Structure 1
């Protein structure tokens, strides 16, 4: 039986359903909660812990940055203190769009990570982005392209679960994730 706490990584392009599946997980069981990455920059603040460059420097100096990436003109950080707090509260669901981020998290933060690929075609990302009122759909499509290139460059990466969000309901994806995570953690019931 594992001694590490379970966590979920949802990987996929913009508008693949990471937020929607995370909400479905939280509705399924209150133990699940989205990990609020530290965001240095501007724009949307919902779902993030807004930080400063001084705060980022302190985290780097303390070797508390597990992974950081630049996208949409902002810096997004997976930080050790934030992850510690998220695990203390339950099962964190971490959203990522870079395979380097998955590897950094799996190798840099001790947990039983369930790694899930959520996917949708590029045209679906465009439709969903426009439908939710994004003002930066072109940037999101560029991120979709980068995600596809990232996947193509890492064909060796093994996914615990792959979900096509154009055919699977968020609640079904959440149930599958929960079942796999509980099995991985050695639990018999959710």
Structure 2
């Protein structure tokens, strides 16, 4: 029996994580955004909104794989959520912290394909403003934090790196899908 496969899309804000995830889902309906549990306010699309009490219960049960705070909210990758996501297909997890990538890979057994999506800071600014983000300045701070995170972890190995300014979302999705198919074939060989 082959291991469960999942995808991690790591990158700064507006690097294309949502767009590439939609292209993956268009390519194959098994690919589904992993909806992190979000405790806080603001954007709700793509999240499972939760309460501080739910977060406390997950922590007490040891079911928090990774949590981080940004934009005045807490974002949680939880074991029950991942269990459900794998039961439904191939989860695509969005992360912007290498500590989160490592916590996921080390804390939840699966065949994780790690993809670095990148774009220049100016592109993040343009995309953020273009989609109407009210917090573009905070997203640019997050872009800086992501760059510093990469520089602080030069040992991080990515299965695929995609420059989203020069690679279209459907091309990115095809590259990721091909990589998963190859990995699945190697696991069964």
TM-score by length of 2: 0.97
Give aligned pairs, total: 187
Q: How many Å separate the matches in 1 of 2:91 and 2:116?
A: 16
Note the 1:20-169 alignment, pairs <5 A. 20-169=19-168
Note the 1:161-180 alignment, pairs <5 A. 161-180=160-179
| Post-superposition offset of 1:187 | 7.2
| Post-superposition offset of 1:3 | 2.9
Q: How many Å separate the matches in 2 of 1:61 and 1:178?
A: 36
| Deviations 1:103-150 (CA, angstroms, capped at 9, x unpaired) | 000000000000000000000000000000000000000000000000
Q: How many Å separate the matches in 2 of 1:101 and 1:153?
A: 14
SS in 2 for 1:76: strand
After TM superposition, the runs of 4+ consecutive aligned structure 1 residues lying more than 3 A away are none
SS in 2 for 1:13: coil
Structure 1 vs Structure 2 CA RMSD: 1.1
SS in 2 for 1:103: helix
| Post-superposition offset of 1:178 | 0.2
Q: How many Å separate the matches in 1 of 2:125 and 2:47?
A: 23
Query: Where in structure 2 are there 5+ consecutive unaligned residues?
Result: none
Q: How many Å separate the matches in 1 of 2:47 and 2:7?
A: 17
Query: Where in structure 1 are there 5+ consecutive unaligned residues?
Result: none
TM-score by length of 1: 0.97
SS in 2 for 1:116: strand
